[in-house]
Amino acid sequence: MRVFICGFGTVGQGFAEVLARRMDFLEERYGCPILVTGAMDSKTYVLDRNGLDPLDLVATKQRTGRVGEDEYSDSTKVLDQAAYDILVEVSPTDIKTGGAGLRNITHALENRKDVITVNKGPLALKFNELITLARRNKCKFRFEGSVGGAMPIINLCRENLRGEKIESIRGIFNGTCNFILSKMDKGQPFDQVLKEAQQMGYAETDPTNDIEGYDSACKVAILANSVFGRNVTFDDVKITGITGITEEAIALAASRNMVIRLIGEVSETKLEVGPRLVPRGHPLSISGTLNTAQIISDLAGPITVSGRGAGRTETASAILSDLISIMDERTE
Amino acid sequence: MIVNAELFVKDLPGQLVGSIEPISLVDGNIMGVMHDRERIVNHRICVNITFEVEEQRQLEELMRIWKSKDIIISKIGSVYQTYTMDYLLIGDIDAPYIEGLINKASSIAKLDAVDVRYSSKGKSSRRTGMISVKTRSEEDLDRLDEFLDAECRKSDITYVRGV
């Protein structure tokens, strides 16, 4: 099985490391090695039909800032040159246009390649087009890590809860906002906590996508399409961010034993992201950078999952689970 | 749910308190008590109590306690489910604005009870109001949510509702 890693930042490197750690397990399970036959970052690429050492790729990237020596201007031309069966698309997300990620995924599916991605932009903007293309070309297309990082949610709903009618999903889908709001619970003002989150690497230099709720809205759109079979995009989500939350509001909520959390809500009729009052002790009142989701289904009732919503190894673990699912399907 | 019960208790000292206490024992909330000394049947006097409990289970436990205390339940009526929700409004708000909003909301949804609290003035000009509402249907809450959300978006007020 040949894998091409498109995007060699934190998640791409994390996946290469996880793949190296699980190489023996995978070879034993499937009786053949997993070959990384190509990798690409924002400027350079490297190809080898015989397979590249994933840890060497990480070392090269960390030493030189580049994954390969050859530069490219059109990523799809690199994909055309590569010999691969599965594209792992983990390039930086673009929630306005879908960016290079959308082009790469589309190109791979058009060429009948299986795709695994955690790239939210293409999924939040063109989900149904991509799923339709994958079905038409009989490709496997998986994206567990795009919502909640290591927290299982999409495959949990689509596979483990098969047979259930899922009525709603509510959750905390952005660790940065949850970090900020839970620090505000202790009396710190918004601006101060945001700076702290940036210093600790939880928030980007430009935190707009997180604090305005856009990142959560992408995830809500992905869940609506993948779990509820709706046909929506990021633009359909009713969004309110957390920039309007004041210390006084937090204190007033606390006086009623409640906290404020940024909650994404999806159902057949709802598609929202906004700050919500959550009673202390409720599964959605968790503190820190964790993600959590409460699934309400007709037979099983409420099911709550939580886990690390981001991180190098954590997100890579979701990609690995998708890889194993594809390999299992291929070997059936 | 809000429940109205008509009880007959023995006309002896302490019996009235004895009929009310079990409501607190099941974590209920007493909303009103009427002691009707004019209605006496078989040496028992009538007590009409309105109270609120969260679940049917509490009501059943309460009825069991009353029966064990030899309190006769002659009527359990006007029983209805209530739905509660809290809303935070953050922005350039004051009491007249919130009152106006609640008046408008009352024509859209049937509100059984409304309670408003305000934050003390903070460092910013933005003030927070918390509106706690009880309605008799989830549809009323949905209508109220839609109304408050739209009004807040119009007035650049941050709107936070309960889960």
Are B91 and A244 a contacting pair at CB < 8 A?
yes
A95 and A221 assigned to the same domain: no
- Alpha-carbon distance A247 to A187, whole Å? 7
Total number of domains constituting chain A:
2
- The predicted structure's pLDDT at residue A111: 98
Is this complex's ipTM strictly greater than 0.85? Answer: no
A217 and A100 assigned to the same domain: no
Q: Which structure tokens are listed for B104? A: 């408008």
* A328 and B CB contact within 8 Å: no
- Alpha-carbon distance A236 to A146, whole Å? 18
A114 and A191 assigned to the same domain: no
* Residue A132 lies in domain: 2-149+312-331
A47 and A173 assigned to the same domain: no
- The predicted structure's pLDDT at residue B122: 62
- The predicted structure's pLDDT at residue A278: 97
A180 and A301 assigned to the same domain: yes
Per-residue pLDDT tens over the stretch A70-123? 999 999 999 999 999 999 999 999 999 999 999 999 999 999 999 999 999 999
A88 and A121 assigned to the same domain: yes
Domains delineated in chain B: 2-79 (3.30.70.260), 83-161 (3.30.70.360)
A270 in active site: no
Please give the mean pLDDT across all residues of chain A.
Answer: 95
A65 and A138 assigned to the same domain: yes
Q: Is pLDDT above 70 for B121?
A: no
- Domain containing A226 — which CATH number? 3.30.360.10
Q: Which of A120, A219, A238, A270 is catalytic?
A: A219
Chain B residues whose CB is inside 8 A of the A296 CB are: none
Q: Which residue would you say has higher pLDDT here, A62 or B123?
A: A62
A219 and A106 assigned to the same domain: no
* A260 and B CB contact within 8 Å: yes
Low-confidence winner among A107-111, A191-195, A308-312 (lowest mean pLDDT): A308-312
Per-residue pLDDT tens over the stretch B43-100? 899 999 999 998 889 999 999 999 999 999 998 876 677 889 999 999 999 999 999 9
Q: Is pLDDT above 90 for A151?
A: yes
* Pairing state between β B83-91 and A290-297: unpaired
Question: Residue range A137-151: average pLDDT?
Answer: 94
- Domain containing A90 — which CATH number? 3.40.50.720
- Alpha-carbon distance A235 to A32, whole Å? 43
Question: Residue range A252-271: average pLDDT?
Answer: 96
Exposed e or buried b per residue across B36-64, where buried means at least 16 C-beta atoms within 10 angstroms of its C-beta: eeeeeeeebbbbbbebbbeeeebbebbbe
- Banded pLDDT at B125 (limits 50, 70, 90): confident
A35 and A118 assigned to the same domain: yes
A326 and A280 assigned to the same domain: no
For residue A80, the surrounding DSSP H or E stretch is helix A75-81
